[in-house]
Amino acid sequence: MATAVVDGISTRYEVIGDGPPLLLFAPGGFDATVEKWSTLGVYARTKPLVHLSKHFRCIAFDRRECGQSGGRVEAITWSHFVAQAKGLLDHLGIDRAHLMGGCMGCPPVAAFAVAHPRAVASMILWWPVGGAKYRIKGEERFVAHLAFAEANGLQAVVDLVRRERKAFNAEPRGGPWASVIARDAAFAESYARTPMESYLSTVTRMRAALLDRDTAPGAEPEELMRLGIPALVVPGRDESHATSAARYLEECIPGAEYWDLPPEAQTEENSAPRLLQFLERCR
């Protein structure tokens, strides 16, 4: 395990394989870690990291506030995740890379491409989050945390996280900084001292920034329509990964390829060749 410090926040990352750089924005919602590429859902089934690392220098990392990466109490937007990823590339001396996001890793890929188009060779957007049910579920998670924090105090949040040892996805009351609280005693102590009024405002603004639409978040459609970056969209089909969100990205990104295959038909045998075929054309 390696660590880079970006804007004062530690980022845990791993580099696997050789070849052109491919930066991987992990799936897993608010528990987005390197391991999710091997253990979570469709990614465990299709094993993309195993196959892609035979041809590319795969750079996988724990998103800030997740896993072994650090965090900071602030109103996080997609641009904060972009800054982490760009800082990691700068740390590694990489000027341009392919990007692949899974699940909630897709919005920062889109936002990264808008912010740093010359640094992006191509984009793979696999099971992008989005849809009305995704937004509603996400808002309910934030509301549950805000209610618990306001009623019980932030020390109670810390105590809950230490007792339950669960990420925000699994225990909404613990909030979006649960992973950092659980492993970093100094952070937890500072977190518990945050003024409540300021904290509630911060989390409310974060919720509004990350859950601002009923389709794929991350970048404005007008911004996506100006991109000239090759893109491959792989659709999901459940409450967090609406197929409509994948179709929206196909519509907005000029020339985007859409792998029109239902999730249950996406296998290790057909996924690896499809991803590699796309990436090889974008070298």
pLDDT digits (tens, 9 = 90+) for 250-283: 999 999 999 999 999 999 999 999 999 999 999 8
Question: Please, what's the b/e burial string for 120-150 (b: 16 or more CB within 10 A of its CB; e: otherwise)?
Answer: bbbbbbbbbbbbeebbeebeebbebbbebbe
Is there a single domain that holds both residue 8 and residue 126? yes
Residues 76 and 172 placed together within one structural domain of the fold: no
Crossing angle between the packed helical segments 154-164 and 185-192, to the nearest 10 degrees: 150
One domain for residues 58 and 124: yes
Q: For 103-136, give the DSSP string.
A: GGGHHHHHHHHHH-GGGEEEEEEES--BSHHHHH
pLDDT the model gives residue 1: 80
Q: Same domain, yes or no, for 61 and 81?
A: yes
Does residue 248 share a domain with residue 227? yes
Q: Give the count of domains, the chain.
A: 2
Closest CA to 17 of 68, 47, 60: 60
pTM for the whole thing?
0.97
Query: Which of 176, 210, 244 lies at the terminal end of a domain, its last residue?
Result: 210
User: 16 and 109: one domain?
Assistant: yes
Verify that 94 and 158 share a domain, yes or no. no
Residues 16 and 124 in one domain: yes
CATH code of the domain containing 248: 3.40.50.1820
Residues 124 and 139 both lie in one domain: no
Residue 26's pLDDT is 98
Tell me, yes or no, whether 26 and 90 share the same domain: yes
Q: Does the structure show a pLDDT above 90 at 118? A: yes
Question: Where is the domain boundary, 210, 229, 255?
Answer: 210
Q: 256: domain range?
A: 2-131+217-281
* Rounded alpha-carbon distances, angstroms, from residue 269 to 207, 243, 273: 38, 22, 7
pLDDT > 90 fraction of the chain, expressed in percent and rounded: 99
105/225 same-domain check: yes
Q: In whole numbers, what is the pLDDT of the chain averaged over residues?
A: 97
From 187, 210, 233, the end of a domain falls on 210
Q: Specify whether 31 is located in the same domain as 166.
A: no
Q: Give the span between the Cα atoms of 279 and 40, in whole angstroms.
A: 23
